[in-house]
Amino acid sequence: MKNKVENGTVKFLLVDDEPIFIRTITDIIEQSELNAEILQAFSGEEALLIAKVESPDIILTDWDMPKMDGIELIKYLNKESQTCEIPVIMVTGSMTTAENLKLAMDSGAVDFIRKPLDKIEVIARINSMLLLTQYYKDKIAAEQNVQKLLVENLERSKRQLVTSSMHLVNKNNLLINIKERLEKLNCNESHEREALNKYIEQSLNIDNDWEQFKQHFELVHQQFFQKLMDICPDLTPYEKKMCAYYRINLSTNEIACILNITAASAKKSRHRLRQKLNLTADQDILQFLESI
């Protein structure tokens, strides 16, 4: 894949109080294969303003400048959110010792070039830095794409979870209604009525529905059941189901319908569940489960 160095314009900001340096390094860059846009600043203060507005891809700055030297410029650049990621190469003819190199790097410079300038060295260091910068940009972009996909998958799972829970409620409501109407019929075909009732009872069995629901639930609320059991290890499978349904904000009546129990039984189960979870009277069960 072509990167910015190979296919695109690289925006340079050259900083020095001596125009001869800027002219020299401009000639070097223009003689290279880089497709360059060159900005110039003759002081640290001017460079800081240009960097904020233009967002150059790379800055080459002299060290020894009046008022704001190269070290101070780097420190100011690192303080600003719009300039802190711009790589800065320190170029100097006077501060050339190993201690100077360490100070420049500790201050935030990404590389160090000594004057007098060597054309091959300058271009090699620029290319190396641009490639490294592009690598990290690509890496960040890839991580952002992965994160975006994870968020999209999570949102899709949430929608599937809501759909699944509503399907359970609606299906069981329908079957209960049919069962109640069958029981009211004065039907001579008692055998057929018993067969229908048996079919409805089997359809109201929540085990298969629960497994499908659980798959969607665990995609959205990962490690929920593990954390729940760490808090209250003596919860029964039935109570774990109730916790899951309360976690997605189903009402007690909706849960009663899914579990094929009466609303009164569901309320009693809710009361026992609150006791097991050690919830006080003023603690909301949904808020507690959301905190897990």
DSSP state letters, 52-71: HHH--SEEEEES--SSS-HH
Residues of the chain under the 70 pLDDT cut? 1-7, 159-160, 162-177, 179, 181-209
What CA–CA distance (Å, rounded) separates 88 from 93?
A: 16
What CA–CA distance (Å, rounded) separates 215 from 212?
A: 5
Instruction: Answer for the pair 17, 42: CB distance below 8 angstroms, yes or no.
Output: yes
In terms of residues, how long is the chain? 292
pTM for the whole structure: 0.49
Instruction: Answer for the pair 77, 86: CB distance below 8 angstroms, yes or no.
Output: yes
Interstrand relation of 10-15 and 88-92 (parallel, antiparallel or unpaired)? unpaired
Instruction: Answer for the pair 198, 179: CB distance below 8 angstroms, yes or no.
Output: no
pLDDT at residue 160 in the model: 66
Q: Position 50: which residue type? A: I
Q: Could you tell me which CATH number the domain at 10-117 has? A: 3.40.50.2300
Q: Per-residue pLDDT tens for 27-51? A: 999 988 888 999 999 999 999 999 9
Q: Kindly tell me the burial class for residue 211, based on how many C-beta atoms sit within 10 Å of its own C-beta (0-12, 13-18, 19 or more).
A: exposed
Residue ranges covered by each domain of the chain: 10-117, 153-290
Contacts of 161 (CB under 8 A, 6+ apart): 213, 216, 217, 219, 220, 248
CB count within 10 Å of CB 63 equals: 23
